[in-house]
Amino acid sequence: MKSKDYPSIAIIGYGSMGHTLESVCKSKGIQIAQIYDVDNTLEQDIKLDFDVAIDFSEPNAVIPNLEYLASKRKNVVIGTTGWYDKIDEVKKITESNGIGVVWGSNFSMGMQFFFRIIQKTAILMKKLDEFEVGIIETHHNNKKDAPSGTSIALSKFFINELFKYDGISTDPNECTKDHKKLPITSLRLGDVFGEHIVKIDTPYDVIELKHEAKNRSGFANGALEAARWVNKKQGFYNFTDILSSYWV
């Protein structure tokens, strides 16, 4: 994709992902109009001279950031995780202001393929009875939310397709007592970019399906693809949905 096909970008949050996003933009020749952080806050800028904002800040900043951007009719890609209990509020802000927003639990294109592999696996498992499913996810020790949004999204494929599970649990004791809860184990170690293992166990064999992020650039590239797609559009979109045309 040529740099001229991308809108001008504002980066909100200048942590690890913000720095990676900046680096990827520079390598692709994409214009970074502004970078907002604790020393240069979004609310201090009354002009907002950019096309699309990409938010990799903090969960509790998602709604205030969106409210301000929406008031200025700016489109947004929300890369931050851990705010999904407020999703109805975010959708309402989006639609009432007539802007475009893309959100997602994981902006890695590889993970989007992995989602579809897991979905197909869950569908195939409808014909099996003797199995148990568990998810193990590992991230860096500064990640705020646990379990990860990605592991929750992976669990929903099994919950939606199978009668066996009706929810998740991060408590092993609860899963032992209630076999309808799909167990998720979260580890926070060092600077792990992101690893998700879906483990399927039967009395006869074990299947492990794994996705491991090698670096943060995959997330940055996906967020930029979302920004390119949502530029000049209106509506509330999930990143998974907008990529459907890639593999119909």
Catalytic residues: 139, 143
Characterize the bridge pairing of strands 235-238 and 75-78: unpaired
Show Cβ contacts of residue 182 under 8 Å, excluding neighbours closer than 6 positions: 133, 134, 135, 155, 158, 159, 165, 167, 168, 169, 175
95 φ, ψ (degrees, to nearest 5): -75, -35
Positive or negative, the CA dihedral 232, 237, 86, 215 is negative
Count of other CB atoms within 10 angstroms of residue 107: 25
* C-alpha radius of gyration, the chain, whole number: 19
228 Cβ contact list (under 8 Å, min separation 6): 1, 5, 6, 7
